[in-house]
Amino acid sequence: MIVDKVLIATKNKGKIREFKKLFEDFDIKVLTLEDMPESIEVEEDRQTFLENALKKAKEYADFYKIPVITEDAGLEVYALNGYPGIYSARFYSIDFGGKEEVRENETKDNANIRKLLRLLKDKTNRKARFVSNIVFYIPEKYGVWTEGYLYGKIAEVPKGDKGFGYDPIFIPEGYSKTLGEFDIEEKNKISHRAKATYQLKKILNKLLKND
């Protein structure tokens, strides 16, 4: 089977931008959910990043009948027993640590960051890591998955506006600035998503070459 196009099944504009940049040297047309004539909603209700990514990949691929790439990713903070974890995108709304209000004229990302910094206010251990699980799935043929990690710590205050999500408060190991201060090209050299994507591209080169 020749794969000439793939659906990046996410509505997160930050992820779409990073995936397109990472795959621009790959001879595959990259589509997003906005390119599709019909839309479906797939609930992320599993217990791990990988399980969520697998569920999304299968349901989107079976519906659209084309190869799909899905990802579930998030931030794990050691002092919070791994939270936000799979709840990273909606951390502000869950009961753990008390819910955080989304204020007028701000994003959910802002509320997530504010809640996380509140919970870490009296913590000395600020170590954390970003996790990415990516799944590539071809309907009725096969699927593969990869993972990537980026280790670092949580900053005292947000800095930078170039990233998304928790980027403004995450300082990667070996750096003194947050991911929110990284250009996309610089971020794509070290990020959890870049590492998982690099592994996926190596696998796809072998699989597609053997088809």
Token pair 């995108």 in the structure block, residue:
89
CA angle 30, 35, 36 (to 5 degrees): 115
Find the distance separating the first CA and the last CA of the chain, reported in whole Å: 6
Residue the block writes with tokens 């079976």: 62
**Catalytic (active site) residue 95:** no
CA angle 37, 72, 102 (to 5 degrees): 85
3-state SS class at 71: strand
Candidates 72, 95, 122, 211; catalytic one: 72
Phi, psi of 88 (to 5 degrees): -55, -45
Phi, psi of 23 (to 5 degrees): -105, 10
Residue 72 forms beta bridges with which residues? 133
**Catalytic (active-site) positions:** 72
